[in-house]
Amino acid sequence: MQIKSKLPRVGTTIFTVMSGLANQVGAINLSQGFPNFNPSDRLQQLVYEHMQRGDNQYSPMPGLLPLRERIAEKMERAYGRPLDPDTEITITAGGTQAIFCAIAAFVHPGDEVILIEPCYDSYRPSVETVGGTAVPYALSAPDYRIDWAAVGRLVTPRTRMLCINTPNNPTGTLLREADMLAISRLLKNTDILVMSDEVYEHLIFDSEPHASALRYPELYERSLCIYSFGKTYHNTGWKTGYCIAPPELTREFRKVHQFNVFSANHPMQAAFADFMADPAKYLGLPEFYQRKRDVFQQAMANTRFRAVPCSGTYFQLYDYSRISAEPDLDFCKRLTTEFGVAAIPVSSFFSNGRDDKVVRFCFAKTEDMLERAGELLARV
């Protein structure tokens, strides 16, 4: 039987490869982006209570209304954007599912989607699965600054979507107000949509604000904004997120969502609705993760790695060019097997595999683990 792959260049993700290698050799896993600590005891208890009450069957396709109402309250408080929970908010099975549905709902065969690279590795396969063409705009280390005029030169009559991510995985950089206004000007009088990946919205450091697409009316009218409870509440395995978009975009998004997963995890949704009554549960995250960033940077101060500035997410990039000329994948594998710390090669976030001799570490870990990783990496 002959099978024609829709994704002929895609194999096992680098996250699976590096986590598997870390598990195999017993290394500290700073590769895949997940915390090594549990979510709130109270949040776990709420899930159990809702399971005991019988909240174990399908939730409504758009998500539980009480949760959508909580999200609307939060977004108006945080970004000044009033939202209709019925027509602008959809609960999803994690951020990645929301990203796929946002792309699949609007990208047709032959359409072009501009990707700002390095970027989360699900964007390109999502575009290609539905017959679109990914058009990358590559950033350069160490500042990863975007020239919006250069991005504009990539726009053609076939451009259907621009994918942005702030704070950015893997670079830890932010889009600021000037960037969002530049995007608005660039796309004005076009039919180009924006997929705004904002899953790290609360992981921003040094008192910087989050420049959400929700803050900018002309930008929001063409945007699908993606968020993640897993990133906010330390439970990536619960796979619960949401998409916010204007009603006309939400209608199309839900057409794909309902046949993709139909609805998201019911008891988790019910627990989040209760838990979000206290905004302090997420408003303290910048300080929480900034301390972890600073602990890790201090632990790495005695190594030969050079830190790339990190303004958000729970990822820290390091340049290893004065240590080795090895390809970054080989270097990461050697770090794991010989020195006991797993990282991710940043080349895996570029369509062309561009290798700037930069690797990504995840610092969403306990501080003792971060300090021990620094001790091990000082031997490199």
Cα distance between residue 155 and residue 83, in whole Å? 30
What fold, for 41-278?
Aspartate Aminotransferase; domain 2 (3.40.640)
Going through 304-364 in order, the beta strands assigned E by DSSP cover 306-307, 315-319, 341-342, 344-345, 358-362
pTM, full prediction: 0.96
Q: Which among 191, 253, 244, 192 has a CA at the least distance from the CA of 213?
A: 244
Question: What does the pLDDT read at residue 374?
Answer: 98
Cα distance between residue 59 and residue 261, in whole Å? 11
Question: What does the pLDDT read at residue 18?
Answer: 95
What fold, for 14-32+284-377?
Aspartate Aminotransferase, domain 1 (3.90.1150)
- pLDDT class for 9, splitting at 50, 70, 90? confident
Answer yes or no: same fold for 14-32+284-377 and 41-278. Answer: no
Question: What does the pLDDT read at residue 134?
Answer: 98
Which two three-digit tokens encode residue 6? 């829709």
* Segment among 16-20, 192-196, 281-285, 341-345 with least mean pLDDT: 281-285
- pLDDT class for 282, splitting at 50, 70, 90? confident
Higher pLDDT, 92 or 12: 92
Cα distance between residue 244 and residue 187, in whole Å? 19
Q: Does the pLDDT of residue 135 top 90, yes or no?
A: yes
Q: Tens digit of pLDDT for each residue in 156-184?
A: 999 999 999 999 999 999 999 999 999 99
Which two three-digit tokens encode residue 239? 């796979």
For the chain, which residues make up each domain, given as ranges? 14-32+284-377, 41-278
Q: Does the pLDDT of residue 12 top 90, yes or no?
A: no
Question: What does the pLDDT read at residue 259?
Answer: 97
Question: What does the pLDDT read at residue 283?
Answer: 84
Q: Tens digit of pLDDT for each residue in 315-368?
A: 999 999 999 999 999 999 999 999 999 999 999 999 999 999 999 999 999 999
Region of residue 112 (phi > 0: left; psi between -120 and 50: alpha; otherwise: beta)? beta
